[in-house]
Amino acid sequence: MTPAKLRQNSKMYKLLLHTLIIWLLVSLHALHAAELKLTDQEKQFLAEHPVITLGSDSNWMPFVVTNTDGSVSGYDVEILQQVNTLTGANFQLQTGTWQNVLRQAMNFDIDGLSSSAVHDSRRQYFNFSEPYITRYQHLIVSGKNPKNLKSAENLQGIRIGYQAGDLATQKTIESLAGTVAVPFSSSPALTHALLNEQVDALIGSHSALLAANRISESGLILLDTVPGSRLDLVFSIRNDFPEALSIMNKGLAAIPDEVKQQIYNKWFYYSAILPPTRNGITLSQEQQQWLVNNPQLKVMTYPNLPPFSFISEERPTGFFIDYMRMIAGKLGIEVEFIVPENWSQAFDMLDNGELDILPQVAEHQDRKPLLNYSATNIINFKSGFAVQKTENSIHSMTSLADKVLAVTEGSTLQGIITDEYPNQKLYLASSTPDALRAVVSGEADAVFGILPVLEYHIQRSWLSNLKTVESGDEMATRSSQLKMAVKEGNATLLSILEQAQNAVTNGEQSELKSHWMNVRPGLNQLALTREEQDYLTEKRRISMCIDPDWMPFEKNENGKHIGMSADYFKLFENRLNIPIEMVPADNWLESLELGKSRQCDIFSMVMSTPEREEYLLFTDPYLTVPLVIATDISETFIDDITQITDKKIGTVKGYAYTSLLKDRYPNIQLIEVNNETEGLEKLYAGELFGFIGTLPTLGYQIQQGFIGELKITGKFDENWSLGVGVRNDEPLLHSIFNKAIAGMSTEEHQEILNKWISVRYHQEPDYKRVIYISLIFALIILVFGYHNRSIRKVNKKLEKANIDIAEQQSMVNQYVLILETNSSGIISFANEAFCRTTGYTMEELINLPHSEIIHHDASDKVIENVQRAENRHDHWAGEAYTHSKALKKIHFNTYINAIYKDGVKVGYRTILEDITDKKQIEELSVKDHLTGLYNRKKLEEITAEQVSTFERYNVSFSIALLDIDNFKTINDTYGHDTGDRVLEKLATILKQNSRSTDYVGRWGGEEFLIICPHSAGEQTLAMAENLREFVDQMNFETVGHISFSAGITEFTMGDTFASAFKRADTALYQAKTTGKNKAILS
């Protein structure tokens, strides 16, 4: 038999062996696979849709392989077979050219696509499954490697071949500086071109690798994985088939890891062309042989240390689990996770070869004889405290004197505390959740533990009344550096692991940390897709154009970006974890030209115009400001802009509102200037009647240089909405910034506004005019002598001016509420209007601490923000509560400014607007009169907003529908007044024990609805269970104990509020009819 025949038989034998192993695994798994639970809706869907057809490219090896008899096989075929077996569905493939199947799927002639990527442009047609395989592009060279290429870097002048029509690969090649992209019609043509030196290398995915494998005797070498080429592949399902998507995801999740690996090995087996390099990791012959002899790493795992390592649904999961899977993936081997009973057993298993790696150990001197440690830390973390949110005195171990500290019994931390703080009172808990519950119940004052672990349990258990504290003392800030360790003397494995660790990119490491150590729906969770995250990793930096002279919005001050937009982009930069760098320009027009020529990726603060839409995409606005007009101080208020269209009005050249105003007021005489400073100078010199700008910028400029000379005298109906402008050839960047803007909190917006915009209500006599008249009067005396008539005229003007001033001061005193305090917060002045509104006399208020008239409903957070704003920026604007002399709550719009005398701050002046009636009317329209919770109308509005956010940004949310058990019996037995008291008390419990981000309302009767943003169904179920258990333990006056049942559901793609609510209602009905006092997730 010839060598070629032997090789062919060997390959056939391997293929048959793989098939047999897969069949055996599937057969064993099928014994319990049939138990995979489908909902009634999913079962009904399958009954109505016996076949679900997905389209695929007929030449997409090895995902889809068209055989000579017309049948299809391949990786996707076998994955779908697994899904069908596990779920009872019938997903089938239909092949053709990619363009044809894509068009058919978008027209809903077929039901979706196989092996596709998530694209925002396709969301209007498809929902996307969870990723089922990750695709990388590879650099392949011939055995001769005439250019002596070493890696996928430094490819200047290299001719790289790719398969025509593969746009992703073409884009990858174009991103490699200095390369020449050469297309070929097919994978075989591409491979032959490489062998014949028509190209120097080729880039392709698994189809190229498969073609190379078929002719591996010719000596092709897989040299490297192209950086940044990762792509997670999914199944795209038409978006009116949400049941098909959920069935697909359940089937994919249920495929055993070993079956997936066998299918993968069968279709992506190309070790025949592997040199001593795996995914860019150069290995010695000794290292390569070690991996051949040990194709599966045996790794220790902890069963209960979330988020690092724990068991969920009988499978290991967590940060370290994903990290080790990443390491194994880079080495092209498998990993098995093993749970020892204790550390002693773990060391024994390591010693006798039952374990290869301890993946998360701290380096201790007494362990060095037993272990070899990796040079690189996997992660660093700190220890700290979890306390009740109202607790502010615990900030270090020394602050715990006479307090009770909860720790896990038998843990290393317990030993450290006992040794170093022997007098500390301890509550010994069975686990971290048990310790946290002790703090919630008041049995302990604090929990000491690993901060990421504490955060994880607090978030996952919805313990919304707890917070974590990072202390400054030696004990609580003690960092732990966790490394990988192997048996002492196993230098070969340790060297392999260290090389694999070095191949983990910062982006990959950050992605794992973000996923596992930031579970709260907070600032850093922007719900970025994998495609968006990979985009940022590859992007590395974002270039930004600004208006170089547009304060307080923004300015280039000696090369530094300052102003409001600078503060916004500091937040964006931190959350996106990517540098955002300013591109300098001399003026706004130059910035626009830089944007047109693609020298900047974004504009920091810009408004959409038809001209700009030719090269920019525009995000949702993050700032909306009114347009106003400034004039000389002598001009009266302009209430109709059309009255001044015959006068010269200045505006900045290139600003968006200039063209808008020309369209709206075609007869207006607009004079364009280079910037606002130039425009106000022309206005001051009399060359212009007025100048148009935004309220913040003109107010800022007038305060800086034109006080007493210019003023704002009119407002346009138009507002200027400002967002981020993104180059239109990078839509992913547009989507990313929309999510960053949506993730801004109201408090963050308000803090930036307070910092840069000072609202001043200030009425003062026109002393300049009085002095001017007085000087003229003196000049007349000196030059012309005493002229009675002139004196009388001057005196009349002065008298009239004084009368006007007195009248204005009287009106201000009667109708504008003013309060002044000294720098210590003691009231030093209160005018007539303030006293009348609050019921106090001035004598009662003078020397009274301002804090004594602040209403108890004013949160500590608001008071803290006011004090911080006053100290940092000399001003604050916002809503605040004061109580009257009769202790009635008064709601004010409040504007605070510092008072200076001789350059020294001596206190604060507050201008207030009473909006109590307005707020009461607003509350009546949105609050339930009995419970004070949101009413049904408001809940429907909130839900509509959440649905819109979900559809736009795919930000998850869930709802919980609660119903008091046996409430009719309570009313019938004790009367409706008692029933009302039960409703009131339950409402208070629900409000106080839900997250501040949740919306709690009364849906009707004894039903309550809780809307939970950024929460999956399982999280909301945990919250409902916590509330149910809490209520079950409470004693309600007169009636004793009560309970409630709850139905929970998570909003999914294709849902309307009606369909989601129906699921929750059905789950509630199920809870009611199966025993009550339970919560069910649907």
pLDDT tens digits, 291-325: 878 878 899 988 877 888 888 767 788 888 888 88
Question: Do 99 and 248 belong together in one domain?
Answer: yes
CA-to-CA separations, 1016 to 527, 1050, 1059, in angstroms, rounded: 13, 6, 17
Residue 1076 has pLDDT above 90, yes or no: yes
Higher pLDDT, 800 or 742: 742
Asked if residue 105 is part of any domain, the answer here is yes
Residue 11 has pLDDT above 60, yes or no: no
Contact 1066, 1082 (CB under 8 A): yes
Q: Say which range, 249-263, 668-682, 858-872, has the weakest mean pLDDT.
A: 858-872
Taking the CB of residue 874, how many other CB atoms lie within 10 A of it? 15
Higher pLDDT, 1074 or 770: 1074
Average pLDDT for 489-503: 86
Average pLDDT for 532-560: 87
The per-type count for the chain, helices as H runs and strands as E runs, is 36, 51
| pLDDT score for 687 | 92
Domain end among 229, 260, 290: 229
Domain end among 881, 916, 951: 916
The total of structural domains in the chain comes to: 9
Cβ-in-10-Å burial (0-12, 13-18, 19+) of 735 comes to: buried
d(CA 574, CA 131): 28
Asked if residue 10 is part of any domain, the answer here is yes
Structural domain including 107 reads 3-134+234-272
Domain end among 567, 590, 608: 608
Of the pLDDT bands very low, low, confident and very high (cuts 50, 70, 90), residue 642 is confident
Contact 534, 230 (CB under 8 A): yes
Asked if residue 740 is part of any domain, the answer here is no
Closest CA to 390 of 439, 462, 443: 439
d(CA 345, CA 576): 43
> Rounded to 5, what percent of the chain is helix, strand, coil?
45, 25, 30
Higher pLDDT, 775 or 630: 630
Asked if residue 506 is part of any domain, the answer here is yes
Q: Which of 1006, 1007, 1025, 1037 is catalytic?
A: 1006
Average pLDDT for 346-352: 88
Asked if residue 523 is part of any domain, the answer here is no
Question: Do 104 and 153 belong together in one domain?
Answer: no
Asked if residue 784 is part of any domain, the answer here is yes
Asked if residue 390 is part of any domain, the answer here is yes
Residue 542 has pLDDT above 90, yes or no: yes
Question: Do 326 and 417 belong together in one domain?
Answer: no
| pLDDT score for 216 | 40
Q: What is the DSSP string of 386-441?
A: EEETT--S--SGGGGTTSEEEEETT-HHHHHHHHH-TT-EEEEESSHHHHHHHHHH
Question: Do 807 and 725 belong together in one domain?
Answer: no
Check if 1006 is active-site.
yes
Question: Do 958 and 1055 belong together in one domain?
Answer: yes
Question: Do 662 and 604 belong together in one domain?
Answer: no
Instruction: Share the mean pLDDT of the chain.
Output: 79
Residue 618's DSSP bridge partners are 725
Return the exposure string of 118-154: e unless at least 16 CB atoms fall within 10 Å of the residue's CB, then b. Answer: beeebbebbbbbebbbebbbbbbbbeeeeeebeebee
Question: Do 559 and 576 belong together in one domain?
Answer: yes
Question: Do 213 and 73 belong together in one domain?
Answer: no
Q: Say which range, 654-663, 677-686, 748-757, has the weakest mean pLDDT.
A: 748-757
Higher pLDDT, 789 or 321: 321
Average pLDDT for 584-608: 91
Taking the CB of residue 1055, how many other CB atoms lie within 10 A of it? 18
Non-local (6+) Cβ contacts of 275 within 8 A are: 221, 222, 223
Question: Do 597 and 646 belong together in one domain?
Answer: no
Higher pLDDT, 443 or 752: 443
Token pair 């949702």 in the structure block, residue: 620
| pLDDT score for 876 | 76
| pLDDT score for 342 | 79
Higher pLDDT, 737 or 625: 737
d(CA 1081, CA 1003): 19
d(CA 905, CA 888): 32
| pLDDT score for 90 | 94
Q: Say which range, 144-148, 473-477, 585-589, 796-800, has the weakest mean pLDDT.
A: 473-477
| pLDDT score for 627 | 79
| pLDDT score for 999 | 93
Question: Do 479 and 592 belong together in one domain?
Answer: no
pLDDT tens digits, 19-43: 544 444 444 444 333 447 888 899 9
CATH number at residue 940: 3.30.70.270
Of the pLDDT bands very low, low, confident and very high (cuts 50, 70, 90), residue 622 is confident
Asked if residue 167 is part of any domain, the answer here is yes
Residue 961 has pLDDT above 80, yes or no: yes
| pLDDT score for 168 | 67
Of the pLDDT bands very low, low, confident and very high (cuts 50, 70, 90), residue 812 is low
Question: Do 371 and 494 belong together in one domain?
Answer: yes
Residue 868 has pLDDT above 70, yes or no: no
CATH number at residue 575: 3.40.190.10
**Crossing angle (nearest 10°) for helices 1057-1073 and 936-953:** 120
pLDDT tens digits, 336-345: 889 888 778 8
Within 530-675, where are the H helices?
530-539, 564-576, 588-596, 656-664
Q: Say which range, 24-38, 185-199, 378-392, 1034-1048, has the weakest mean pLDDT.
A: 24-38
| pLDDT score for 177 | 75
| pLDDT score for 1066 | 94
Which amino acid is residue 661, in one-letter code?
A: L
Of the pLDDT bands very low, low, confident and very high (cuts 50, 70, 90), residue 786 is very low
Residue 544 has pLDDT above 60, yes or no: yes
d(CA 341, CA 303): 9
Question: Do 938 and 976 belong together in one domain?
Answer: yes
d(CA 291, CA 280): 16
Of the pLDDT bands very low, low, confident and very high (cuts 50, 70, 90), residue 802 is low
